[in-house]
Amino acid sequence: MGIVICDNVSKSFKKNRAIKNLSCTFQENRITGLIGRNGAGKTTLLKTIAGRWRPNEGVVKVFDEDPYDNLKVSANMICVNDELVFSPELTLDEILKSGEMFYSNWDMEIAEGLFDYFELNPNLYHDQLSKGKLSTFNMIVGLASRCPLTIFDEPTTGMDYSVRQDFYRALLKDYINHPRTIILSSHLLNELEDILEDIVLIDKGEICLHESMNDLKEYAIRITGKREDIEPFIVEENILHKKKLEFNLESLVVKNEFSKEEIEQMKQRGIQILNVDAADLSMFLTGQSKGGIDDVF
């Protein structure tokens, strides 16, 4: 079941078209990674889904309703980002204690447990927190709210590596115990791939790829060998990345559309075949060219 459905959605700011004719569906009770480089359109899409902005074109449905200025959607959704604002009159402890007033599924036990674990000061105010502590507190609110639709937009900004790892583990453990639809945007796919079930890859406001993580791992392969040995097997439009090596060798990342017989033939010619890391694949799919930085020099 699609909790979030985007159909040919476009959103512009003056002359800048941030998302373009974008269509995708986020399924119920799945953790989906919205992955893309900075400026790819991730935040624009999420704010449109969250009902902060209206699309210029197309249709967005959340729980089968238009999310813009929609009380039902707001009551069943939380969007955690660095713009999350709380009353300047409330301490962090008071903010947590007021959570159940706004979220029907609020879990005070998990909120207090994470708050103590990350050693936050209950007497501080939200605007007194450092960037990393701010992200950590916002993450706690997002998890404890247990909203049917939970959106985390670049939630680990400012966190150090160990805190990020703790966040991912906490998110996964809580999701297993209390399934809901989670959208997690980031450009750090290498840190997320173990917890994601689906991935939506976005570039320049358009969807490049929408796959399950299992299918993504089979999407492409890296083949290395002499050009004359590789060439008979390659279709140019399937090349995602290429790199020249020493001794007349070439390394290509290509879409995996080969038959078992073709794979065996390549191996017999001495061509090396390897899997492609998911983070590298996302970089190749959203790159401006098929080469690398070394080609500049």
Q: Are 147 and 180 contacting, i.e. CB atoms less than 8 angstroms apart?
A: yes
User: Which CATH number, 3.40.50.300, 2.30.30.30, 3.90.1150.10, 1.10.240.10, labels domain 2-214?
Assistant: 3.40.50.300
φ and ψ at residue 26, rounded to 5 degrees: -100, 120
> In the chain, what percentage of residues exceed pLDDT 70?
97
* pLDDT at res. 251: 93
Q: Is the pLDDT of residue 223 over 80?
A: yes
Residues 86-142 have pLDDT tens digits of 999 999 999 999 998 999 999 999 999 999 999 999 999 999 999 999 999 999 999
Q: Are 234 and 252 contacting, i.e. CB atoms less than 8 angstroms apart?
A: yes
Beta bridge partners of 126: none
Helices (DSSP H) in the chain: which residue ranges?
42-49, 71-75, 92-97, 99-102, 108-117, 131-145, 161-177, 189-192, 213-216, 227-230, 260-268, 278-285
C-alpha angle with apex 22: 158 to 11, nearest 5 degrees? Answer: 70
CA 275 to chain centre: 21
Q: Which two tokens stand for residue 215?
A: 């299918």
Domain spans in the chain, listed from the N-terminal domain onward: 2-214, 220-275
Residue 238, classified by CB atoms within 10 Å of its CB into exposed (0-12), middle (13-18) or buried (19+), is middle
Q: Which two tokens stand for residue 225?
A: 């060998």
Q: Is the dihedral of CA 208, 192, 137, 133 positive or negative?
A: negative
Residues 37-66 have pLDDT tens digits of 888 999 999 999 999 999 999 999 999 999
